[in-house]
Amino acid sequence: MLDSPQIKQTAEQQAAVIRLTIPRAEIGNMMGPGFHELMGTIAAQGIAPAGAFFSHHLRVDPDVFDFEIGVPVSSPVSPTGRVAQGVLPGTTVIRTTYRGGYEGLGEAWGEFEAWIQAEGLQTTCSCWESYLAGPESNPDPATWRTELNRPLATPAP
């Protein structure tokens, strides 16, 4: 289930990130371990998360995911292993919130993209998801919330 999409301005956020380029089918195997690696690295540096865990897709390809997993931070992270300093951009996005289990995200993105096209909006080749509530907060997937963000290529009419 998607909330009504809205156009929002985002502020740039510094982040700790891990860049991954993997076959689409591998995403389920990479997210959990990557999350734990990020959180362990920033905790070891005395840095607390400053927002929700996210995945920032740098280009959209049906077979290969070229993306960063990350977490906003309030101070710079020192590169350690695969963890590097990154940023979520300050930009104008079309945003909606998907409510449900992660297995429904593909369908949610399809519905969101159809809405964007029907509205005649032009987007860039990147997008990101912020995991606002998930299994760490409640085992019931009906309570999970994932924010979907698609940057606009041109200002909204």
Here the tokens at position 156 are: 């909204």
pLDDT for residue 28? 84
Task: Answer yes or no: pTM beyond 0.85.
Answer: yes
pLDDT for 22 beyond 80 = yes
Of 62-66, 73-77, 117-121, the one with minimum mean pLDDT is: 62-66
CATH, domain 6-151, list 2.40.340.10, 3.30.70.20, 3.40.50.720, 3.20.80.10: 3.20.80.10
In angstroms, rounded to a whole number, what is the distance separating the alpha carbons of residues 62 and 11?
A: 28
Q: What is the pLDDT of residue 156?
A: 55
Asked which of 24-28, 58-62, 153-157 is least confident by mean pLDDT, the reply is: 153-157
Of 52, 11, 60, the residue nearest 35 (C-alpha) = 52
